[in-house]
Chains A and B, each alone.
Chain A
Amino acid sequence: MNNETYTFTNKTRNFTFALMAIGLISIIAGFAQPSPEDQHTRIWANLLINGYFFMGIGLLATFFMALQYVAEVAWSVAVKRVYEAVSCYLPVGASIMFLLILAGQFHFHHLWQWMDPAVTDKTSPKYDALIAHKHTWLNPAFFWTRTIAYLVIWNLFQRGFRNRSLEEDLQGGTAIHYKNMGKGALFLVFFAVTSSTSAWDWMMSLDVHWFSTMYGWYAFSGMWISAMTTIMLTVLFLKRKGYLPQVNQSHIHDIGKWMFAVSFLWSYLWFCQFMLIWYTNIPEEIVYFHDRLAKYGYMGLMWTVFFMNFAFPMVLLMSRDAKRNYYFLVIVGTIILIGHWLDVYDMVMPATVKGDHQLGWIEIGTCMGFVGLLIFVVHKSLAKAPLTVQKHPYLDESLHHQY
């Protein structure tokens, strides 16, 4: 079997270093900016947007990997190393998330209003009956148990999949494959619950007075489409550089179908959440959209998100030829990634900086830094192992994949 390895060239490496430098400068500049009561909410909120968005890419690549094992998918084996490499961002993204939440717990920032002990203290002037009512779920001990459980268990699964995949290259046979299937099923069960609960804990609790039963799936589908798009763009990049000769148009077409389908899943959940809340117009639910659409002026952003994440992918990716065209896919992929980053921005900003939002060079610079970090980690992992798995039981079938 083709055992070609990816070379992480100095040019690409320097490019990611440049991006990361821009990110670092933006973060430092963000902290250096004067801010009321020295809270620096803007830059902390930015870090949370990027921490969550990019961790989601690594996490959902892990999910996709588990899904491929459990469903015994054959076609995707040819690009297995690519989504495996994307999943290798998970440990990095999870560490960043962990540090951000830790900073919140020690009150370096106040993104999570409920983390302030005063809000549940009846004698305090800051006492908030609604938050006190949620104390059973949102109390530090239980919250930290959950947070650590998600991050550690997700990472253990990711590491296991990756290590077994590398081992399979040397060993062959079907024992590892069946083990992966079992572990994949376990991961899917665990992830079915934790994908929602982690979104409630880290994202929905920013708007702590509000809740939505659709939020978990909405966050999950947004991360999923970002992960599929990252996988697609990495495959296209490698093809462009002359790697992955065994990946044909049919493989690309199939990843394109995933992008198209998950775009619809996200649109469906995003719209349902909005429409049901808008239509019933109950005060405790409408507050989320009232903040965004009326109070703090995020109307333009929400329309942009709608067009970038639903209308463009739908129209541009509908036809068969578009899903097989390099330029189309790169353009639509970029639109989708930016659109979903803006969607996470729309989750975080109205709850944290509220009306004081701006999409300036600090936001863009921080995002560029994280893009650099993601590319760096993914390409480093790509370079560590042959770009094609060597002895996967379905490898041969995948190489003949044709539709």
Chain B
Amino acid sequence: MSNITIHAIFDDEVPLLASAKTLRSNGIRIKDVFSPFPVHGLDEVIGLPRTWIAICAFIYGLTGLSLATLMMWYMMIHDWPTDIGGKPSFAYFMNVPAFIPITFESTVLCAAHGMAITFYLRCWLVPGAKPKNPDPRTTDDKFMMVIETKEENRSNLEAMLRKDGAIEINNNNFKYRN
């Protein structure tokens, strides 16, 4: 008996959520869901672990903050102290209010770009990457659930999906990579 991949299409988020709950309560693992917009609560229902992106963002932010501080300390205090508007330039802390906007901007820049780049790399959304979406309709108005199962469970699973409102169930051989 071989493994098969089932693609169940829904036309609304409500039956999708309901169906995902039924499958999970029956112990069936959902490999992934494709949807045209983020469905609130879905990540918990299909049992995705919590994202680390917030922690990454914090680390990128700290990096940006340190880099900006280092840069300004080197330029304005260490290498070439400049008297601007009579402000003391002997030590970093004496002039710190003037440095805050740059520190802030650099923190935001690094946190935002770091997050975006991490996201792209993690999802492998790079130039020349093969599309991973098995059905373009999921970018418009359809929702698709991907389930990997054994051939012998297929009829049982299909009945369950139909009951919860799947409008279409396919078993195609799209090369699904994660």
Q: Which residue of B lies closest to A402 (CB)?
A: B40
Is B27 in the interface zone, CB < 8 Å from A? no
Contact with B along A271-310 (1 / 0, CB 8 A): 1001100111100000000000000000000000000000
Q: Which residue of A lies closest to B87 (CB)?
A: A279
Check if B98 sits within 8 Å of A319, measured CB to CB: no
Is B49 in the interface zone, CB < 8 Å from A? no
Within 8 A of A (CB), among B73-102: 85-87, 97-98, 100-101
Check if A275 sits within 8 Å of B86, measured CB to CB: no
Check if A275 sits within 8 Å of B100, measured CB to CB: yes
Taking the closest CB of chain B, its distance from the CB of A20, in whole angstroms, is 41
Is B41 in the interface zone, CB < 8 Å from A? yes
Taking the closest CB of chain B, its distance from the CB of A248, in whole angstroms, is 13
Residues of chain A contacted by B87 (CB below 8 angstroms):
279
Is A403 in the interface zone, CB < 8 Å from B? yes
Is B53 in the interface zone, CB < 8 Å from A? no
In the complex, what distance in Å separates the CA atom of A402 from the CA atom of B87?
Answer: 51
Check if B54 sits within 8 Å of A319, measured CB to CB: yes
In the complex, what distance in Å separates the CA atom of A278 from the CA atom of B99?
Answer: 13
In the complex, what distance in Å separates the CA atom of A403 from the CA atom of B42?
Answer: 11
Within 8 A of A (CB), among B38-66: 40-41, 54
In the complex, what distance in Å separates the CA atom of A279 from the CA atom of B85?
Answer: 7
Task: State the interface size on chain A (CB cutoff 8 A).
Answer: 10
Which of A279, A280, A281 gathers the greatest number of chain B CB atoms within 10 Å? A279
- Please classify how large the interface on chain B is, using the bins under 10, 10 to 19, 20 to 34, 35 or more: 10 to 19
Taking the closest CB of chain B, its distance from the CB of A320, in whole angstroms, is 8
Residues of chain A contacted by B98 (CB below 8 angstroms):
275, 279
Contact with B along A373-403 (1 / 0, CB 8 A): 0000000000000000000000000000011
Residues of chain B contacted by A319 (CB below 8 angstroms):
54
Within 8 A of B (CB), among A241-284: 271, 274-275, 278-281
Residues of chain B contacted by A279 (CB below 8 angstroms):
85, 87, 97-98
In the complex, what distance in Å separates the CA atom of A279 from the CA atom of B40?
Answer: 47
Residues of chain B contacted by A278 (CB below 8 angstroms):
97
Check if B40 sits within 8 Å of A274, measured CB to CB: no
In the complex, what distance in Å separates the CA atom of A278 from the CA atom of B94?
Answer: 12
Check if A271 sits within 8 Å of B40, measured CB to CB: no
In the complex, what distance in Å separates the CA atom of A274 from the CA atom of B101?
Answer: 13
Taking the closest CB of chain A, its distance from the CB of B66, in whole angstroms, is 17
Residues of chain B contacted by A271 (CB below 8 angstroms):
97, 100
Which of B40, B54, B97, B98 gathers the greatest number of chain A CB atoms within 10 Å? B97
Taking the closest CB of chain B, its distance from the CB of A267, in whole angstroms, is 10
Taking the closest CB of chain A, its distance from the CB of B144, in whole angstroms, is 23
Q: Which residue of B lies closest to A319 (CB)?
A: B54
Query: With A402-B40, A403-B40 given, is the CB distance from A280 to B100 under 8 Å?
Result: no
Contact with B along A75-108 (1 / 0, CB 8 A): 0000000000000000000000000000000000
Residues of chain A contacted by B101 (CB below 8 angstroms):
275
Contact with A along B110-151 (1 / 0, CB 8 A): 000000000000000000000000000000000000000000
Residues of chain A contacted by B100 (CB below 8 angstroms):
271, 275
In the complex, what distance in Å separates the CA atom of A273 from the CA atom of B12?
Answer: 50
Query: Can you list 6 A-B contacts with CB-CB less than 8 angstroms, sorted by A residue number?
Result: A274-B97, A275-B97, A275-B98, A275-B101, A279-B97, A402-B40
Other CB < 8 Å A-B pairs besides A275-B98, A279-B97, 13 of them? A271-B97, A274-B97, A275-B100, A275-B101, A279-B87, A279-B98, A280-B85, A281-B85, A281-B86, A319-B54, A402-B40, A402-B41, A403-B40
Where the two chains meet, the residues of A that have a C-beta atom closer than 8 Å to any C-beta of B are: 271, 274-275, 278-281, 319, 402-403
